[in-house]
Amino acid sequence: MKETSFSQAAPGFLGRLILVLAVFGLSLPGHLFAAEEIYFGTVERVVDGDTIAFLTQDFERVRVRLYGIDAPEKNQSGGPESSQALKALIEGKSAEVRVLDVDRYNRLVGLIYLNGQSVNLALVADGHAWVYKRHCRSKEICREMTQAESIAKDEGRGLWAEPNPVPPWDHRRRAR
């Protein structure tokens, strides 16, 4: 079941713009909508520490990038552990996805909830992901995740057990 918090009939200029774009097979980037879409379904598989394959209740398969976090890459220290932690937490389970954006790879970007608890926050709190400050823009959500990251770091959880963990964005830049 898909619920949206915005009207299907966009009035005025935006409505006309959407109509024109639709005629030409184009669309607006997801981040232009303040709306939040909510999907219910099953996590089919974990792609990596911050991306899942999700099957909605309407049997639509989508990729979802977890909002506001960045997990170590598969070939990076902590990467396999991050993926495994996410698998243990949600793979094969019913979940809720609150979509906040669509990224440049056409993945939904959202908050994942399992039994009302934020999976995004849990990964950061357990030390399996960084808060991705470059893309984390929701003040309340990002503040909560940043506090959890600080505690995980202080307690040496997960990737913070290493003396100098390398953030994924630095790892990707070095690999280029």
Q: What is the pLDDT of residue 138?
A: 87
Is the per-residue pLDDT at 144 higher than 60?
Answer: yes
Q: Please report, for residues 16, 65, 97, the alpha-carbon distance to residue 91 in angstroms, rounded to integers and kept in the order given.
A: 41, 14, 14
- Rounded mean pLDDT of 133-153? 93
Question: At 142, which CATH number?
Answer: 2.40.50.90
d(C-alpha 162, C-alpha 75), whole Å: 16
Handedness of CA 36, 42, 44, 50 (dihedral sign): positive
Q: What is the pLDDT of residue 9?
A: 34
The residues carrying an active-site annotation are 65, 73, 107
Q: What is the pLDDT of residue 113?
A: 98
Question: Could you report the per-residue pLDDT of 33-57, keeping only the tens digit for each?
Answer: 445 799 999 999 999 999 999 999 9
Task: State the residue for tokens 């792609």.
Answer: 47
Q: What is the pLDDT of residue 24?
A: 54
Cα Dmax for the chain: 55
19-33, 124-138, 160-174: the lowest-pLDDT one: 19-33
Is the per-residue pLDDT at 20 higher than 80?
Answer: no
Q: Can you give the residue range of the structural domain that contains 45?
A: 2-175
Is the per-residue pLDDT at 12 higher than 50?
Answer: no
Output the average pLDDT for the chain: 85
* Overall number of domains in the chain: 1
Q: Which residue has the higher pLDDT, 18 or 99?
A: 99
Is the per-residue pLDDT at 66 higher than 50?
Answer: yes
d(C-alpha 48, C-alpha 85), whole Å: 10
Is the per-residue pLDDT at 76 higher than 80?
Answer: yes
Residue 155 parent element (H or E): helix 139-155
35: amino acid identity, one letter: A
Counting every residue, how long is the chain? 176
- Rounded mean pLDDT of 75-92? 95
List all residues 6 or more positions away from 128 whose beta carbon is below 8 Å from its beta carbon: 49, 71, 78, 81, 82, 85, 86, 158, 159
Burial of 84 (0-12, 13-18, 19+ CB in 10 A): middle
Give phi and psi for 146, each to the nearest 5. -65, -40
For the question of whether the overall pTM of this predicted structure is more than 0.85, the answer is no
d(C-alpha 90, C-alpha 55), whole Å: 13
Is the per-residue pLDDT at 129 higher than 90?
Answer: yes
